[in-house]
C-alpha cells in the first residue's frame, strides 16, 4: 500500500487538531538548539506555527521561548539567582512530584535546576494530577518562599501542562472507522515518527508491535535486533508514562522501593519500564532482586519489607544480537547473547512475546515520517487511557476462547488484547485473525523456540493454540 496525497489529506480532515505535520517538525530542527523529546518538540511547533508564518519565523519564536524558559546546565545558577532575588521565573521542564508522608510534604523535582526538594501547593496537584503519576512536562512558575523556620524553599505556584490531558476516546474510535485496517496501520506508523512507504508491508506489521506494551497493562516483551533500527526512539519520544533505562545495574531501590526514603520504584510509577541496551543490563542480587523481579513479571505485584505493591507496569527489553549474512540471528539460541540472568528459562517464560527486530531495517533519512500523523503527546495519553478504559468507553480488546498450554494461552490472550486495542478490531471482524491473532501467536512462538534452546527436556519449540 502506498501512502498518497489523498490519504494524507484524509488524515488531516478526519483527525483535525489531533494531527501535526511530522516532516515540518523535523525540518525545523528544534533539537539542534536544545535536546527535547518529540512530544515537547511537537507541542512547541503546535503553539507557534500559523498558516501565514514561515518556518524561519516559527523556529525563531520557539528558540526564543526555549532560551528564556529552558535553561542549559550553565544557566541554572543564574536562574536560581533570579529566584533568590525575588523574581518569579517560568521554566520549561519535566516536573515530578513525590509525597513524603513522614514530613507531610510534597516535593517537586526540577531537573533543569538540579532541584529535588522544591514544594508545591495541594490545590495545584488537584488541578494537575499528572504531576503525581510519573511527572509531566510543562511550563512552571517558580518563586522563593520562606517556610517560617529561617529556611527558603522554591515553590511551584503555577503550572501549564505541555502534554494533552484526557483524550476523548470516541473521537479516535469514530476516526478509525473511516480508514481500512491497512490505512490505520499507516496512520500509526506516521504517529510513531516513521514513513510507511519506506517499509514493506511485513516490516510495517513488525514495526507496529513496538506499541503493544503502551496499550496493554502488564505486558512483557523483548525486541532483539542489531544496532541502528530505532528500537528505543519510540519509547523515549511518545509517552510521558514510559521510563527508558539505559543499561547497567538496576537495584532493588530503583526497581521496587527505596526503604530509606519510602519512594516507590520504577515498576510502581510508570506504565512501561524499558530496559535499553539489555545486553548490558543486570540486576543487583542483593535482597533477592532477581527473584522479586521474576515474581513481579508473573503476578504483577511484589513485596518489599512489609509492603505488598501491585502495579500495571509492563516491561520491554531492548537488546542487540548478532546476525548472519542473510540478516537472521547468527545462532538458534540467540537468547544466550543476553546476560546470564536471561538464560533462566523460568524468567524467559514470563515474557509474553519476542519481537523480531532483525526484520526491521536500519534507520535512514528515508524512514522518517514525510507527512501528517497523530501528535505524539495525544497518542501517548490515548494509549495510557485505553489500558484501563471500560468496555463501554472503549469496546475493543476482546479475545476468542483459546485452548493450549496455560502460559502460552495467557501470553497470546494478552498480546491479542493489545493488538485488538491498537487496531480497534474484535474477533467478529474480518481482519482480526490476520492482524491480531496470528501476530500474537508468532510473538509467543519465538519465546517457545528460546525456551526449547535453554531447556529442551521441558519445552518444545512449537506452540499449540486452538480456538
| Predicted confidence (pLDDT) per residue in 254-307, tens digit | 888 877 777 788 898 899 999 998 888 777 765 577 788 888 999 999 888 778
Summary mean pLDDT of the chain = 89
Average pLDDT over residues 200-225: 96
pLDDT at residue number 148:
67
Query: Any idea where the domains of the chain sit in the sequence?
Result: 5-69, 73-161, 200-360+396-466
Query: Residue 130 contacts by C-beta under 8 Å, 6 or more apart in sequence?
Result: 136, 161, 163, 165, 240
Query: Residue 345 contacts by C-beta under 8 Å, 6 or more apart in sequence?
Result: 451, 454, 455, 458, 459
Architecture of domain 200-360+396-466: 3-Layer(aba) Sandwich (3.40)
pLDDT above 70 covers what percent of the chain?
A: 97
Q: Is the pLDDT of residue 7 over 90?
A: no
Q: Is the pLDDT of residue 456 over 70?
A: yes
| Predicted confidence (pLDDT) per residue in 170-183, tens digit | 999 999 999 999 99
pLDDT at residue number 263:
77
pLDDT at residue number 1:
46
pLDDT at residue number 11:
95
3-class SS of residue 325: coil
Q: How far is CA 90 from CA 60, 68, 458, in A?
A: 19, 8, 60
Q: Is the pLDDT of residue 226 over 90?
A: no
pLDDT at residue number 150:
65
Query: Residue 107 contacts by C-beta under 8 Å, 6 or more apart in sequence?
Result: 97, 98, 99, 100, 116, 117, 118, 119
| Predicted confidence (pLDDT) per residue in 248-260, tens digit | 778 888 888 877 7
DSSP for 410-457, written as a single string: HHHHHHHHHHHHHHT--TTSTTHIIIIIHHHHHHHHHHHHHHHHH-TT
Identical fold, 73-161 and 200-360+396-466: no
By the 8 A CB rule, do 107 and 98 touch?
Answer: yes
By the 8 A CB rule, do 221 and 208 touch?
Answer: no
Residues forming a β-bridge with 249: 282
| Predicted confidence (pLDDT) per residue in 310-328, tens digit | 999 999 999 999 999 888 9
CATH code that applies to domain 73-161:
2.40.50
pLDDT at residue number 339:
86
Alpha helices in 208-274 (DSSP H): 212-215, 233-237, 252-255, 266-269
pLDDT band at 212 (very low <50, low <70, confident <90, very high): very high
pLDDT band at 94 (very low <50, low <70, confident <90, very high): confident
Instruction: Produce one character per residue of 280-299: b if its CB has 16 or more CB atoms within 10 Å, e if not.
Output: ebebeeeeebeebbbebbbe
pTM for the structure as a whole: 0.88
pLDDT at residue number 108:
92
Average pLDDT over residues 155-176: 86
Query: Residue 285 contacts by C-beta under 8 Å, 6 or more apart in sequence?
Result: none
Amino acid at each position: 500500500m502506498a501512502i498518497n496525497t489523498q490519504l494524507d489529506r484524509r488524515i488531516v480532515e478526519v483527525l483535525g487538531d489531533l494531527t501535526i505535520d511530522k516532516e515540518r517538525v523535523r525540518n525545523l530542527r528544534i533539537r539542534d538548539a536544545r535536546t527535547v523529546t518529540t512530544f515537547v518538540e511537537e507541542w512547541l511547533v503546535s503553539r507557534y506555527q500559523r498558516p501565514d508564518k514561515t518556518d524561519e519565523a516559527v523556529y525563531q519564536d520557539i528558540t526564543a521561548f526555549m532560551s528564556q524558559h529552558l535553561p542549559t546546565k550553565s544557566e541554572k545558577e543564574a536562574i536560581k539567582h533570579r529566584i533568590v532575588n525575588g523574581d518569579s521565573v517560568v521554566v520549561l521542564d519535566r516536573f515530578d512530584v513525590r509525597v513524603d508522608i513522614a514530613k507531610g510534604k510534597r516535593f517537586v523535582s526540577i531537573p533543569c535546576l538540579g532541584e529535588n526538594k522544591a514544594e508545591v501547593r495541594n490545590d495545584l496537584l488537584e488541578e494537575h494530577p499528572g504531576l503525581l503519576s510519573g511527572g509531566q512536562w510543562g511550563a512552571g512558575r517558580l518563586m522563593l518562599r520562606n517556610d517560617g523556620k529561617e529556611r527558603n524553599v522554591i515553590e511551584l505556584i503555577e503550572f501549564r501542562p505541555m502534554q494533552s490531558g484526557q483524550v476523548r476516546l470516541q473521537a479516535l474510535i469514530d476516526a478509525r472507522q473511516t480508514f481500512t485496517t491497512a490505512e490505520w496501520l499507516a496512520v500509526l506508523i506516521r504517529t510513531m515518527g516513521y514513513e510507511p512507504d519506506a517499509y514493506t508491508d511485513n516490516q510495517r506489521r513488525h514495526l507496529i508491535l513496538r506499541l503493544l506494551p503502551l496499550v496493554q497493562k502488564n505486558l512483557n516483551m523483548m525486541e532483539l535486533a542489531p544496532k541502528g533500527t530505532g528500537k528505543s526512539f519510540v519509547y523515549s519520544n511518545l509517552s510521558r508514562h514510559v521510563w527508558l533505562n539505559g543499561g547497567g545495574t538496576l537495584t532493588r531501590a530503583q526497581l521496587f522501593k527505596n526503604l530509606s526514603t519510602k519512594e516507590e520504584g520504577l515498576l510502581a510509577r510508570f506504565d512501561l519500564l524499558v530496559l535499553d541496551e539489555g545486553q548490558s543490563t543486570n540486576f543487583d542480587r542483593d535482597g533477592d532482586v532477581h527473584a522479586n523481579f521474576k515474581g513481579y513479571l508473573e503476578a504483577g505485584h511484589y513485596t518489599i519489607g512489609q509492603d505488598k505493591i501491585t502495579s500495571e507496569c509492563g516491561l520491554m527489553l531492548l537488546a542487540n544480537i548478532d546476525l548472519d549474512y542473510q540478516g537472521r540471528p547468527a545462532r538458534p539460541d540467540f537468547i544466550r547473547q543476553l546476560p546470564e540472568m536471561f538464560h533462566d528459562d523460568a524468567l524467559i517464560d514470563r515474557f509474553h512475546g519476542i519481537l523480531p527486530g532483525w526484520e526491521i531495517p536500519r534507520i535512514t533519512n528515508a524512514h522518517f515520517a514525510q507527512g501528517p500523523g497523530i501528535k505524539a503527546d495525544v497518542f501517548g495519553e490515548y494509549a495510557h487511557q485505553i489500558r484501563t478504559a471500560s468496555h463501554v468507553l472503549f469496546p475493543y480488546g476482546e479475545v476468542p476462547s483459546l485452548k493450549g498450554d496455560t502460559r502460552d494461552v495467557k501470553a497470546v490472550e494478552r498480546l491479542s488484547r493489545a493488538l485488538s486495542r491498537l487496531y480497534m478490531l474484535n474477533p467478529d471482524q474480518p481482519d482480526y485473525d490476520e492482524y491480531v491473532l496470528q501476530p500474537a501467536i508468532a510473538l509467543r512462538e519465538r519465546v517457545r523456540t528460546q525456551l526449547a534452546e535453554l531447556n529442551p527436556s521441558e519445552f518444545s519449540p512449537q506452540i499449540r493454540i486452538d480456538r
